[in-house]
């Protein structure tokens, strides 16, 4: 049975309902993914990210509007020393039933039990390839073994959901798909491939490595994988299952037709700006209201902005807004 749809006041002009907030808590990252921060994070402005108090106020205000799921992202959210406290504050917010985090997994093995105890319910670990040399080449860190040990540590806990995010890259197709399928044969885990997206900084990498999601879809269907029925909060991912495999393989195809029709998420940057779309421009300042603790004014500002949310991104026209890389906003 599908879970019931939570009530939300966050509805846009196209009738889309938003019960999911992606909150970036830092722009800093310790990895150098080739499509995101190939030269590593460079500090260009003072690092003034939302504090745990601001995060708690923000989460409360969004929860009052109907947000039930909050994902912590970045940059790399786990480079923050207060990540455990942040998880606990978000998890303790009335109305929030899911606290999710997307991480590159560098310190997962050591900390995942503590994060689970603090209230983390959904964990996404980014692993683009299961080939150690290729992982090192993509991320700049020869740490695939550590990250996978962290995934297994998470699976050994009673975490409601552990998933892997993989960017769909030309070099990982074919044999790379075989490796991921083998990985999920005995593990109850979803590996979700997301099509590489063009951003301001990755033109050359995108041109060399973008692969259409259709390639993976054809690969899966040719091997008997079947798309499963989607739950209301699945967002734009389509997941495939197979009777011989415990895990699932998913596809998120932002360049596919109708991708934005099921948009269910709002974003807030690490500096407290509301972003209505990953590939939009600018953002709506919320931090002044957080500092003064004015949840009603914040709700009014968010609802007014949401009324102007565009029907979809314009990536196919080569318009990626002012997004230079996803570390800037949280993917």
Phi/psi for 95 (5° steps) reads 100, -20
**Binding residues for ligand SAM restricted to 127-186, rule: CB under 6 A:** 165, 167
Among 20, 22, 75, 162, binds ligand SF4 (CB under 6 A): 75
Output b/e per residue, 184-221; b: 16+ Cβ within 10 A.
beebebbbbbbbbbbbebbeebeeebbbebebbbebbe
Q: Interacting stretch for ligand SF4, rule CB under 6 A, among 73-81, 248-256, 286-294, 308-316? A: 73-81
Strand 273-275 to strand 265-268: parallel, antiparallel, or no bridges (unpaired)? Answer: antiparallel
> Is 127 among the residues that bind ligand SF4 (CB under 6 A)?
no
Least separation in angstroms between residue 119's CB and ligand SF4 is: 22
Q: How far is the CB of 231 from ligand SAM (least distance, A)?
A: 21
Is the Cβ of residue 104 or residue 129 nearer to ligand SAM in the bound state? Answer: 104
Element (H, E) at 164: strand 161-168
Residue closer to ligand SF4, measured from CB, 93 or 126: 126
Terminal Cα distance for the chain, rounded: 30
For residue 311, how many C-alpha atoms fall within 13 Å in the half-sphere facing its CB?
3
Strands (E), 97-154: 98-103, 122-126
Choose, by CB under 6 A, the member of 59, 199, 209, 269 that binds ligand SAM: 199
Out of ligand SAM, ligand SF4, none, what residue 37 binds, judged by CB under 5 to 8 A for its kind, is ligand SF4
> What SS3 class is residue 71?
strand
Residues 223-262 that bind ligand SF4 (CB under 6 A): none
DSSP state of 23: E
Distance CA 231, CA 324 (A): 32
Residues that bind ligand SF4 (rule: CB under 6 A) add up to a total of 11
Residue 165 binds which of ligand SF4, ligand SAM, none (CB < 5-8 A, kind-dependent): ligand SAM
* Tokens of residue 48, six digits: 């003034």
Interacting residues toward ligand SAM by CB under 6 A: 29, 35-36, 73-74, 76, 102-104, 126, 165, 167, 194, 196-197, 199, 202, 326-327, 330-331
């Amino acid at each position: 049975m599908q879970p019931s749809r939570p009530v939300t006041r966050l509805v846009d002009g196209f009738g889309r309902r938003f019960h999911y907030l992606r909150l970036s808590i830092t722009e800093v990252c310790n990895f150098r993914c080739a499509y995101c921060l190939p030269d590593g994070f460079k500090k260009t402005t003072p690092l003034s990210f939302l504090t745990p108090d601001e995060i708690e106020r923000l989460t409360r205000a969004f929860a009052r509007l109907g947000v039930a799921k909050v994902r912590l992202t970045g940059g790399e959210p786990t480079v923050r020393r207060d990540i455990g406290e942040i998880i606990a504050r978000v998890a303790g917010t009335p109305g929030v039933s899911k606290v999710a985090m997307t991480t590159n997994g560098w310190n997962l093995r050591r900390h995942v039990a503590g994060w689970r105890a603090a209230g983390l319910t959904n964990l996404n670990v980014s692993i683009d390839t299961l080939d150690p040399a290729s992982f090192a080449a993509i991320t700049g860190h020869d740490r695939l073994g550590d990250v996978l040990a962290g995934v297994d540590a998470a699976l050994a806990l009673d975490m409601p959901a552990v998933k892997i995010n993989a960017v769909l890259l030309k070099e990982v197709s074919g044999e790379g798909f075989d490796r991921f399928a083998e990985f999920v044969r005995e593990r109850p885990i979803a590996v979700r491939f997301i099509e590489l997206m063009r951003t301001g900084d990755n033109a050359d990498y995108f041109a060399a490595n973008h692969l259409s999601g259709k390639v993976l879809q054809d690969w899966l269907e040719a091997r008997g994988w079947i798309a499963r029925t989607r739950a209301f909060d699945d967002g734009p991912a389509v997941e495939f299952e197979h009777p011989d495999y415990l895990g699932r393989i998913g596809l998120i195809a932002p360049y596919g037709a109708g991708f934005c029709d099921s948009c269910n998420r709002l974003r807030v940057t690490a500096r407290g700006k509301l972003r209505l779309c990953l590939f939009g421009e600018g953002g709506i300042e919320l931090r002044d209201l957080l500092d003064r603790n004015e949840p009603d004014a914040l709700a009014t500002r968010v609802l007014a902005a949401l009324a102007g949310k565009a029907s979809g991104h314009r990536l196919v026209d080569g318009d990626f807004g002012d997004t230079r890389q996803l570390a800037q906003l949280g993917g």
